[in-house]
Structure 1
Amino acid sequence: MAGYTFEVEGMTCGACVGRVERILSAVDGAGKAVANLAQNSATVEGGAAPALAAALEQAGFAARETHLTLAIEGMTCASCVGRVERGLAALPGVTQAQVNLATSSAEVRFLAGAVTPDALISAVAALGYVAKPQAQLGAEDHKTAEMDDLRRQLLTALVLALPVFVLEMGGHLVPAFHHFILRTIGTQTNWLIQFVLTTAVLIGPGRVFYRRGWASLRHGAPDMNALVMIGTAAAYVFSVIATFAPGLLPSAARAVYFEAAAVIVTLILLGRWMEARAKGRTGAAIARLVGLAPKTAQVERDGVVQDLPLDQVLVGDILHLRPGEKVAVDGEVLTGDSYVDESMISGEPAPVAKTVGAAITGGTVNGTGALTYRALRVGADTMLAQIIRMVGEAQGARLPVQDLVNKITGWFVPAVLLAAALTVLAWVVFGPAPALTHALVAGVAVLIIACPCAMGLAVPVSIMVGTGRAAELGVLFRKGDALQGLQSVQVIALDKTGTLTAGRPEMTDMVLAKGFDRNVVLARIAAVEAKSEHPIAQAILRAARDKGLEVPPAFDFASHTGFGIAAQVAGQRMLVGSARFMAREGVDLGDLGKAGDTLAANGKTPLFAAMAGRIAAVIGVADPVKPGTPEAIAALKAMGLRVVMISGDTKATARVIGGELGITEVVAEVLPEGKVEALAALRADGARLAFVGDGINDAPALASADVGIAIGTGTDVAIEAADVVLISGDLRGVVSALTVSHATMRNIKQNLFWAFGYNAALIPVAAGVLYPLWAVQLSPMLAAGAMAMSSVFVLSNALRLRWVSGGMA
């Protein structure tokens, strides 16, 4: 058995080499293994690549994997998908091959060094298809080229098939025309003309069906092309015999079906052209995202502002943004004030204010102000590039339901061939005269009507359109199976800080004692807090600055851990802290004590301030609820979901916030490391659970949930651990994600019902079950038209997902 070589990571010494060799040799199907420490590689005779990689990983090593995306021409049905996947997976070193009919592409993962791109392309070519690396053929270019080629083939077939149809069917439909043909050119000449034109159709536009159909039969995996090839060839050969050797047929069976072969090819090409056009629209979301990025940017270098292509912008460059222009790359505002429309990225319609220090995102549109900003992320690192990449990966994902479809279509085509053969046999044995003619018509109709195009398209096109629409609503499905998993979720667990709330404390209340001026007191409290780095101190400082107050200097600052802080401001001693700090310092709270209790009961942190030994004010600080959160909670509950809040706050505070949001089930006083255990308890009864979080400490919980949903404004670690990302950070995105998930899975079920139901209903009709009752037999031409329309129906149904709403009233 031939061996193959691949790269291995983790070998550091001779002992590692020996271990790697023993591990690989022990894998089922593997023979001798030789590891090379200098080249960090291993050569093994036989053995399945996934098993070899898994064995190395379990032992602490790693078989380095790489991947390649191939654009594949010629796939038409689910059987094609199965054949290409099996052909690629059979290559030594390939760990996974995933083919998508809707995108006409294959994602191949293989052990680095074990197989070359040329070998992958050759394997596809041996199956009768054409493959090219996607980098050489852009997705849009590929779709345009496919549509142009199909249109040319269709027009050619139409021009050739139309006279054949008129010559043959015109006489059946209009008796006078039949007599005209007999008087002028005669039956034999008529048949000869049909023969010439039909032959041109089959060796021209129809050649693709024969080339690919024969390749599929030769490999023992017949597909849709094989069905078309056998069906049209049967009609053509029968007609050729009737034309040139009529003595071989019973006199009652001497008829030609050239028009069936020619029109079938034409109608199927028409269906494929319509499919190609519809598939082009399924990728509209990606096209729109790509179109968001401007082609050039105004870059300042050496004091000169110049217009440069986007790929020449470097991190650290200073860029100028004029009113109405698109932001070129991700950056930080240096000068200017403006409002930026971020709806194309986040799905949020309201423009966002941008001032000095604000982050701006490439692809968004500037309002009426002028800005300068520093480039922080360029090229593939920008948020837009990452979104495009994630959407592309989600659109190419395969849901668990697709595996079931592939298993069914794996035996479907052979079953159809058997059904066609039995149909012919039944008509020959039991059918009325001319039995052979009836048998031919029925057999060809069964072959044509059963083409599984719609089955292969049913799932991937819905995924493409659904995930694209989700991206427009600000929801990214990072992992394809989350699209299917989310629709069965019963419990939504929500982290409080940063998810339900803004994650940044804000000053919400200020109650003054008699005789004190609000602005003076706030300015002096801010002066003391300016010396502290505590988040609450920053909240008070922001509140003072937002009011335009001048903060005086503070001296003799002292921090009393667990109590509060003190300093000299404007010649007076200021105390800021808890009620017990005031009691310790001998300050009487007076009526403000009750005000503080009220603030605490409402889930806010009360902070007392005293000036020169007298109580001056109590301030309420809280982490405010994000806009839209109450509406999102109400919508989730209206969906029948169990909504739970998880918080590290005390039970009293958590209950107050939960009550404010309408969440009755609250899990409080949960330490960061305890969130995974909290989730396990929530789904102890087997319920499927989605967890929504945003922080680094949420990553384990996001990974352990059935579906992890990360707030896009959170940390990279949390986003990487999640299955779904909400770009805007708005909790209403969870409702959008659920709505799209439900709509997409419902759409997939409709498509599968149509695809399988169509075949189940029409194969018996094509076989002739209606003939004993009404003497009705399905024409192969009608079968071809119906088959083409079934695929168009599936595509049209999937395109309805482009108008799915976000689920919020």
Structure 2
Amino acid sequence: MTEVSTIHRVGIEGMDCNNCAIGIKRFLEKKGLQNVDVSFANAEASFEMNNAVTYEEVLEGIENLGYHVIEEPDETTDTVAQPDVAGWSDLEWKLLVCAIFTLPLLLSMFLPFEILHNSAVQMLLCLPVFIIGADHFGSSALKSLKTGVPNMDVLIIMGTTAAFLYSLIGFAFGLGHNYMFWETAATIITLVLTGNVIERRSVRQTGSAIRELSKLQPTVARRIKIDSVTGHESIEEVSTKSIRTGQVFLVNTGDRIPTDGIVVWGSGGANEAMMTGESLLVEKGEGSALIGGSVLEIGSIKMKATKVGKDTALAQIIELVKRAQANQPPIHKLADRISAVFVPVVLLIAIVTFAGGYFYFNIGFKQSILNSIAVLVISCPCAMGLATPTALMAGLGRAAKNGILIKSGTVLETMAKVSTVVFDKTGTLTTGYFTIKSMKSELPDFEFKAILLGLERYSAHPLAKAIVRALEKDHKPLPMFEVREMKGMGIMGKDTDGNTYMAGSYNIADEFTDDNTHNIYVLKNGKLAGWLDMEDELRPDAADAVEYLSKHHIKTLLLSGDHTDKTTQAARKLGITEYYANRLPKEKLDMIEDLSKKGVTAMVGDGINDAPALAKASVGIALSNASQVAIDSADVVLLNSNLHSLGNALGICRHTVLTIKQNLFWAFFYNLLAIPLAAVGLLNPMIAAFAMAFSDVIVIGNSLRLKTKKI
């Protein structure tokens, strides 16, 4: 897995909408912190420190803004809402109390009971609702003002306070029923609280993939202890948090593997679907690698821990997914800029609405104030703020559950625009499991094979691994020194007698022979010593992947360092009409650069020699069985090494970006339509509050469709 750089991550309680997150982010950036991300949906902030401020000062600063900081948040909990645990949240209790007192006020509009029309009774019914609203929305509004980015609650508290004070003045001076807006103030607060409850429950659902991955981490393990005197083994249950590398554990059928490690005894079959999306069991025997969090479905094993805590594959995937969700794509920047100035603009519109209605159109004080309140409560910056992060969380979460790791939101948006996909051949379109077809050498057979084994055991190339796998059982390697790999050419080294050896492609032997049809050429002391032919099969899913791309009008190219005849044969079998053979890494890099200038280009590769091209492409895609360098250079990793996932990844990216655009359209359209209607008096404040409360719920609901919709 990719090495994850050290960053500080804290949970933040008390954020009520995306503007709160924008305000906290601005505060942290003003402190000089780097790579700041604040997620309202995840209720988290991440940042890198500088020398100008201490970590404690940062936390104190966030607390002084009115938020509560939780250090090292647990992914299995949620600081936003806990709808799936027993008991009600404070927000839900507030809503219940407000609903009980608001219902009689609403009924007074339809029922003839005299007591419900009594102004004193209406005031007493409204008072507890207003107190709850003033505490809830007022504290949130104050926090947002401290950050310099006022949020929606500023508008809510101003609208409800105006209605409440206007009614209070009317009651105190006995001005009559036309001056009483008790039901308006109470209904606005209750409806907005209703929307908040639904919103928080829904936002939680968009990020459920991370919690589901986190819950795969077991909490206990059975550690094997060996008595230093008797040598007898004993088993003790320990917390997985106390696991250290080198310790040995017992895993039986049905157990979750406690951490990353290797099998030291026994055999079985592991279900690694949580990592790869593949439900087939993976056979495990002595020396096999194990993934923490996967389930041993069959057998019993003893394992030695090799990675623990944040270094495990599962922990790093969770971290990378969270980083990707925090990294907002460029399409979100416009929404953030508008959200930051939205509230002041709406306040100005509300003032103009009141002044214009009262002084210019002479519609009276009551109607002017009602229109102004309607403008305040119908405006909804939250829908714009939630449009991108909720869709991003749902889309990236679905990708992660299907064994697709997309490293950032920017990558997701770019991948949705891909017009060309370039494939490497060996190990990408082919299985990479080679066998030796034939070999020829002037050297004795045992010497030639010893040279091959001595050189190729230092290489990670699929051909080299196949040669080692085929020869190591029956032959001993020739000891080599000063071994180094030559990108795109091969590998070279020296023996103890000073003889130099090279093994590689035709590029190392072109001055010795015109026959370029073989896979591996071997040189000894600068002279051709022999050659090998290898056999490789196309992946069974390669043809389907190419067909998917063709159906979606995405151009496919084959770019290989292999011989022309083998590259041509593979391309024709797969239906790829444009292909290039005998390309060195520098030539691949130049071609990818040219293609990227013409359109958004994705490169799919697996080897060290593909790493530069993966980094240069608009989107680099690596299979999980690729070299570590290739995975580090890639923007997307197909964890199940299945090319079917390529089409799935492209589909998820396209639909996620489509959902973001739909959300942003709704958010902009809603505010552009609703605010003028409220300003001219076509919407009363209660209808306005209802519309506002559910506008962001519509956005979140649309994002949630990404979890199940057909891609």
Answering whether residue 204 of structure 2 is matched by residue 280 of structure 1, we say: yes
* Rg comparison, structure with higher value: 1
- Return the offset for 1:483: 0.9
- Return the offset for 1:495: 1.7
Deviations 1:724-781 (A, max 9, x none): 111122222222221111011011111111111111111122123xx6xxxxx32211
CA distance in 2, matches of 1:186, 1:803: 47
- Equivalent position of 2:151 in the other structure: 223
Matches within 5 A, 1:559-578: none
Cα distance, 1:289–1:236 mapped onto 2, change above 3 Å: same
Unpaired runs of at least 5, structure 2? 227-231, 440-444, 457-461, 477-514, 522-530
Matches within 5 A, 1:10-25: none
CA distance in 1, matches of 2:154, 2:561: 63
- Return the offset for 1:630: 1.6
- Return the offset for 1:402: 1.6
Retained in 2: the 8 A contact 1:77–1:454?
A: no
Answering whether residue 702 of structure 2 is matched by residue 789 of structure 1, we say: no
Answering whether residue 638 of structure 2 is matched by residue 726 of structure 1, we say: yes
Retained in 2: the 8 A contact 1:321–1:366?
A: yes
- Return the offset for 1:100: 1.9
Deviations 1:692-736 (A, max 9, x none): 222222222222111111222222222222211111222222222
- Equivalent position of 1:132 in the other structure: 69
Partner AA of 1:155 in structure 2: L
Matches within 5 A, 1:95-134: 95-112=34-51, 114-127=52-65, 129-134=66-71
- Return the offset for 1:115: 1.5
Answering whether residue 393 of structure 2 is matched by residue 501 of structure 1, we say: no
CA distance in 2, matches of 1:659, 1:305: 60
- Equivalent position of 1:164 in the other structure: 105
CA distance in 1, matches of 2:56, 2:300: 51
Unpaired runs of at least 5, structure 1? 1-64, 511-524, 546-550, 555-599, 608-617, 772-776
Retained in 1: the 8 A contact 2:387–2:699?
A: yes
Retained in 2: the 8 A contact 1:72–1:106?
A: yes
- Equivalent position of 1:375 in the other structure: 305
- Equivalent position of 2:549 in the other structure: 636
Retained in 1: the 8 A contact 2:223–2:250?
A: yes
Alignment partner for residue 559 of structure 2, among 646, 658, 680?
646
Partner AA of 1:222 in structure 2: P
Cα distance, 1:641–1:365 mapped onto 2, change above 3 Å: same
3-state SS in 2 of match to 1:368: strand
- Return the offset for 1:324: 2.4
Alignment partner for residue 362 of structure 1, among 268, 287, 292?
292
- Return the offset for 1:412: 2.0
CA distance in 1, matches of 2:689, 2:649: 39
CA distance in 2, matches of 1:526, 1:783: 86
- Equivalent position of 1:195 in the other structure: 123
Partner AA of 1:676 in structure 2: L
CA distance in 2, matches of 1:461, 1:258: 35
Retained in 2: the 8 A contact 1:526–1:544?
A: no
Partner AA of 2:218 in structure 1: P
- Return the offset for 1:161: 2.2
Runs of 4+ in 1 over 4 A off after TM superposition: 136-139, 214-221, 430-433, 507-510, 525-532, 534-545, 551-554, 603-607
Retained in 2: the 8 A contact 1:526–1:537?
A: no
Matches within 5 A, 1:177-256: 177=112, 180-181=113-114, 185=115, 190-214=118-142, 216=144, 221-246=149-174, 254-256=178-180
Matches within 5 A, 1:494-573: 494-506=423-435, 532-533=452-453, 539=466
Cα distance, 1:538–1:689 mapped onto 2, change above 3 Å: closer
TM-score normalised per structure 1: 0.73
Deviations 1:571-598 (A, max 9, x none): xxxxxxxxxxxxxxxxxxxxxxxxxxxx
Cα distance, 1:214–1:109 mapped onto 2, change above 3 Å: same
Retained in 2: the 8 A contact 1:324–1:365?
A: yes
Deviations 1:591-613 (A, max 9, x none): xxxxxxxxx99x98699xxxxxx
- Return the offset for 1:117: 3.5
- Equivalent position of 1:655 in the other structure: 568
Deviates more, 1:389-398 or 1:527-536: 527-536
- Return the offset for 1:382: 1.4
CA distance in 2, matches of 1:200, 1:84: 31
- Equivalent position of 1:749 in the other structure: 661
Deviations 1:198-222 (A, max 9, x none): 2222222431212333455577643
Alignment partner for residue 89 of structure 1, among 29, 34, 47?
29
CA distance in 2, matches of 1:552, 1:417: 82
Alignment partner for residue 154 of structure 1, among 95, 103, 117?
95
Answering whether residue 611 of structure 2 is matched by residue 671 of structure 1, we say: no
3-state SS in 2 of match to 1:82: helix
- Equivalent position of 1:344 in the other structure: 274
Greater RCO (Cα-Cα under 8 Å, separation 6 or more) = 2
Cα distance, 1:67–1:80 mapped onto 2, change above 3 Å: same
Matches within 5 A, 1:415-564: 415-429=345-359, 431=361, 435-506=364-435, 532-533=452-453, 539=466
Cα distance, 1:604–1:363 mapped onto 2, change above 3 Å: farther
- Equivalent position of 2:229 in the other structure: none
Retained in 2: the 8 A contact 1:222–1:413?
A: yes
Cα distance, 1:72–1:327 mapped onto 2, change above 3 Å: closer
Retained in 2: the 8 A contact 1:292–1:364?
A: yes
3-state SS in 1 of match to 2:89: helix
CA distance in 1, matches of 2:658, 2:116: 57
- Equivalent position of 2:487 in the other structure: none
Deviations 1:628-684 (A, max 9, x none): 122112112222111111111122221111112222211211113332112123234
3-state SS in 2 of match to 1:374: strand
Partner AA of 1:151 in structure 2: E
Answering whether residue 325 of structure 2 is matched by residue 395 of structure 1, we say: yes
Retained in 2: the 8 A contact 1:469–1:804?
A: no
3-state SS in 1 of match to 2:423: strand
TM-score normalised per structure 2: 0.82
Partner AA of 1:285 in structure 2: A
- Equivalent position of 2:489 in the other structure: none
- Return the offset for 1:439: 1.1
- Return the offset for 1:531: 8.4
Cα distance, 1:198–1:116 mapped onto 2, change above 3 Å: farther
Cα distance, 1:121–1:635 mapped onto 2, change above 3 Å: same
Matches within 5 A, 1:590-601: none
Cα distance, 1:370–1:761 mapped onto 2, change above 3 Å: same
Cα distance, 1:136–1:373 mapped onto 2, change above 3 Å: closer
Matched-pair identity in %: 35
Retained in 1: the 8 A contact 2:432–2:463?
A: no
Retained in 2: the 8 A contact 1:77–1:455?
A: no
Cα distance, 1:552–1:67 mapped onto 2, change above 3 Å: closer
CA distance in 1, matches of 2:622, 2:338: 36
Cα distance, 1:482–1:537 mapped onto 2, change above 3 Å: closer
CA distance in 2, matches of 1:529, 1:666: 33
- Return the offset for 1:87: 2.5
CA distance in 1, matches of 2:300, 2:221: 14
Retained in 1: the 8 A contact 2:75–2:214?
A: no
- Equivalent position of 2:671 in the other structure: 759
- Equivalent position of 2:442 in the other structure: none
- Equivalent position of 1:586 in the other structure: none
Retained in 2: the 8 A contact 1:483–1:741?
A: yes
- Return the offset for 1:271: 0.8
